[in-house]
Amino acid sequence: MAQRRDIDRHLHELLQVDRFKDYGPNGLQVEGKDEIVKIVSGVTASRALIDAAIAEGADALLVHHGLFWRGHDGRLTGWLKARVERLMAHGINLFAYHLPLDAHPEWGNNAQLGRQLGLQGEARFGDQDLGWLGAAPVATLDALAECAHQALGRAPLVLPGDGRPLQRVAWCTGGAQGFFEAAIAAGADAFITGEVSEPQAHLARETGVAFLACGHHATERYGAPALGAHLAAQFGLTHRFIDIDNPA
From 103, 129, 136, 131, select the one nearest 26 (Cα to Cα).
103
Contact 87, 50 (CB under 8 A): yes
Question: Residue 38: helix, strand or coil by DSSP?
Answer: strand
- Indicate the residue among 108 and 161 with the shorter CB distance to Zn ion: 108
Looking at the DSSP bridge assignments, the partners of residue 134 are: 169
- Indicate the residue among 59 and 220 with the shorter CB distance to Zn ion: 220
Contact 102, 34 (CB under 8 A): no
- Indicate the residue among 174 and 215 with the shorter CB distance to Zn ion: 174
Q: Is 223 in the site for Zn ion (CB under 5 A)?
A: no
Q: Is 174 in the site for Zn ion (CB under 5 A)?
A: yes
- Distance between CA atoms of 209 and 124, rounded to whole angstroms? 18
DSSP 197-209: -HHHHHHHHHH--
User: Segment near Zn ion (CB under 5 A), from 145-153, 156-164, 174-182, 228-236?
Assistant: 174-182
- Indicate the residue among 36 and 227 with the shorter CB distance to Zn ion: 227
Smallest distance, Zn ion to C-beta of residue 179, A: 13
Smallest distance, Zn ion to C-beta of residue 23, A: 10
Residues binding Zn ion: what is the number (CB under 5 A)? 2
User: Segment near Zn ion (CB under 5 A), from 46-54, 75-83, 198-206, 217-225?
Assistant: 217-225
- One-letter amino acid of 142: D
Contact 93, 32 (CB under 8 A): yes
Site string for Zn ion, 48-77 (x = CB under 5 A): ------------------------------
From edge to edge, which strands make up the β-sheet containing 157-159? 123-125, 131-135, 168-171, 190-193, 210-213, 157-159
Q: Is 42 in the site for Zn ion (CB under 5 A)?
A: no
Query: Which run of H or E residues covers position 116?
Result: helix 109-117
Among all residues, whose Cβ is closest to Zn ion?
Answer: 174
- Indicate the residue among 111 and 141 with the shorter CB distance to Zn ion: 111
User: Segment near Zn ion (CB under 5 A), from 15-23, 116-124, 134-142, 220-228?
Assistant: 220-228
- Indicate the residue among 42 and 174 with the shorter CB distance to Zn ion: 174
Contacting positions for Zn ion (CB under 5 A): 174, 220
